[in-house]
Structure 1
Amino acid sequence: MFRVRAIQVENGDSLLISYGQDEQPFHMLVDGGPSGSSKTLLCVLKSVLKSEGVDGQLWLEALVVTHYDLDHIQGVIELLNNTPPWLQIREVWFNGYHHHHTPSDLLGPREGDALSKLIRSRKLAWNAAYRKQENDKDGGAILQSSHAVSLRGGLDVRVLSPDQDGLTALARHWTNPVLPPPEPESAPGDLLGRGDTWPPKNFFFNGGATFVSDTSVPNRSSIALLLTFDKKRVLLAADAFCDVIKRGLAIHLPNQEPIDLLKVSHHGSKGNTDKSLVDVLRCKKYLISTSGKTHKHPDHALIERLVAPRNEPEIIFNYAQGWPGEWQNILTNWPSFKVRYPEGGNKFVDVSL
């Protein structure tokens, strides 16, 4: 088994990765969506517990928080504030304040944002797989390198983003160790695709416009992971920058082996996935996590870039309603592609590899 469930957490991300034997697989949770997501998240986890739990408990090999944007982190804070006894967490992966700053910048081990305090108060293993020294209780920074981690059950994990420049930029931005900086104001509407209307205009091979990269400092610090199990590869791009991901891929896949599933960066924003990344990935399955309510994601230009290779890709959404649901309508003058949505009233879309 190697599967990804993209849970419905409105405009945010929450992904449950399961791998191993069908009867008793291993699990990893990546992000928890915005505030108010924990109820849905726990409902999904409890359903997994019934069929895949061990001795009445569900173990997460890693709980990954990709970056501190509210639509990724708040649901995790809610989950850790009210963790049910049947949910066990072996390790948390999250780049906290002290992972971005030099020791002289730190005010002491008790300083930290809400998530950092929860990790410490619950005595959870923190970035343990990235420790530089055995007695480093808060682990090392998670960043792009040639290092690979193997989790129990045989899932290989490689970090594609952030790079050191991304962590350095965040350190300049995150100046108060007690509180992460506020989310930046939204980019102009046309950059985020809010000017898109339905139906899309005629197909443009390059997405209809010159690529303009995301400039968000938090997104630049996103943890993007390349997961490999049973010769299948999944790229979880969080909200990361495509240039950083391409440099990470060059380290770990120098022969440009194809990716079997891409969780598209930044909910399908056209500022995080360019044509050259799509070409490098040679992927035919794309997963987009968003309700589309806040930013009208995915952008038309992003979908154009995914279908431009004309290899009839499958685009998988975790919401069938609203803006994502429009893509099931047949488009004239566009390359052929398939769409898939959640089935049977599920609060997630399930992708098996």
Structure 2
Amino acid sequence: MLNLKCFKAGKGDSFLMTWESEIKNRLLIDFGFEGTYRYLGPLISDFGVNDFVIITHVDYDHIGGFFKWLSDKQHPINRQLTVFLNTPNLIVAPDSSEKVGIKHGVNLEILLEERGIVPKPLFVESENYNTLKIGDVELVILSPSIDILSMLIEKWTANKIYQEYLNQKLQTNDRVGVDVHKKLRSKEEILKSPPQPHKWEDDLLNSSSIAFLLKYKGNQLLFLGDSNPNIVCEHLKCNESEPCEIDLLKISHHGSKHNTTVQLLKSIRCSKYLISTDGSGPYYHPSRETLVLIATYGRKNEDESITIYSNYSLDKDKLLTKDEQKNIIFKEIEELEFDSKF
């Protein structure tokens, strides 16, 4: 059995997967914000040689709790732990040093060195060499490409990324679930002119996100981080005529309208979707457009039931009409389990 825990990570992501092979393996995907660590700490205090961490990308809603973990001197970190993280040189610690013992401006590379952790890169190297085996689990890496990482390193610096984080923090409002000041588009408008993904060159921080297809004893789970859907579709090797059977799709970028496309949804067969967000500003994810596309293209027809899981309660009535909610189950969860199909 594979167990997936979905932590309350604010606007961010944090998931813990546990499964039984010959030995017990665990995989932590992202750390959310700093406050997420209060949920994570007790569960990862004994992480060791059989456990793995993936930090999908450099946004602070995915790595904030990572700093908290590195600074928690009461709990040693096993140096044999495997951590996958691209471009650690582009990350500096957030400015909350009085609480977590880190001074603003300290590069993540220094903190990792102090803990004896040497992160490994994880990206699409070639069409024939993009898989990672962890016991009975296989990860097929779908994003990012080396071109994206190279341009990220060329265009961005650690201080520039940190300033971007501070700017977003200033825009943050209290949790309201949807932006009440924005006029919602009709379903007809959305389907006639669906939102388009950003060019990856114009959205390097999110496009550099690690995305992968997780395979476990007949189950297939798609974890998309904040990745670009065009990049994912390019490497997924599925299409409308030959769709992949997916048991769970972790929607990219907390349900942003620019990260879920008609092409992606038509390339898979899936009845279970997962969105990680508390719905707060400035972006008020998930987008209505994303839910309309899932309801329309994420199933064969409206008579087929689908489930949209979330780690917080979604205000569905402000996102979809009653008619649009037909045969859609919205469910707030803390964990999911997947039995072996073999």
Deviation of the 1:64 alpha carbon: 0.8
Structure 2 residue corresponding to 1:96, chosen from 82, 87, 105: 87
Instruction: Identify the residue that residue 337 of structure 1 maps to in structure 2.
Output: 328
Structure 1 residue corresponding to 2:256, chosen from 264, 269, 278: 269
Structure 2 residue 51 is matched with structure 1 residue 67? no
Structure 2 CA distance for partners of 1:254 and 1:211, relative to 1, 3 Å: same
Q: Structure 2: give runs of 5+ residues left out of the alignment.
A: 91-104
After superposition, the C-alpha distances for 1:96-129 in whole angstroms (9 at most, x for unaligned) are 2569xxxxxxxxxxxx9633222222222421xx
After superposition, the C-alpha distances for 1:130-150 in whole angstroms (9 at most, x for unaligned) are xxxxxxxxxx55335332444
Structure 2 residue 7 is matched with structure 1 residue 7? yes
Contact 1:341 1:349 in 2 (8 A): no
Instruction: Identify the residue that residue 338 of structure 2 maps to in structure 1.
Output: 352
Structure 2 residue corresponding to 1:173, chosen from 136, 139, 155: 155
Residues 289-304 of structure 1: pairs in structure 2 closer than 5 A: 289-294=276-281, 295-304=283-292
After superposition, the C-alpha distances for 1:39-87 in whole angstroms (9 at most, x for unaligned) are 12225x27xx8xxxxxxx4446211111111100111111122166486
**Aligned residue identity for 1:31:** D
Partner-residue secondary structure (3-state), 1:11: coil
Q: CA RMSD in A?
A: 3.6
Instruction: Identify the residue that residue 126 of structure 2 maps to in structure 1.
Output: 145
Q: Structure 1: give runs of 5+ residues left out of the alignment.
A: 50-56, 100-111, 128-139, 343-347
Contact 2:77 2:115 in 1 (8 A): no
Deviation of the 1:25 alpha carbon: 3.6
Q: How far, CA to CA, are the matches of 1:282 and 1:336 in structure 2? A: 16
Deviation of the 1:207 alpha carbon: 4.7
Deviation of the 1:327 alpha carbon: 5.4
Deviation of the 1:181 alpha carbon: 5.4
Structure 2 CA distance for partners of 1:41 and 1:271, relative to 1, 3 Å: same
Deviation of the 1:341 alpha carbon: 0.9
Instruction: Identify the residue that residue 28 of structure 2 maps to in structure 1.
Output: 29
**Aligned residue identity for 2:292:** E
**Aligned residue identity for 1:70:** Y
Q: TM (normalized to structure 2)?
A: 0.77
Q: Percent identity?
A: 25
Structure 2 residue 154 is matched with structure 1 residue 161? no
Q: TM (normalized to structure 1)?
A: 0.74
Structure 2 CA distance for partners of 1:336 and 1:124, relative to 1, 3 Å: same
Q: How far, CA to CA, are the matches of 1:67 and 1:170 in structure 2? A: 11
Instruction: Identify the residue that residue 195 of structure 2 maps to in structure 1.
Output: 211
Structure 2 CA distance for partners of 1:148 and 1:253, relative to 1, 3 Å: farther
Structure 2 CA distance for partners of 1:179 and 1:339, relative to 1, 3 Å: same
Deviation of the 1:168 alpha carbon: 2.4
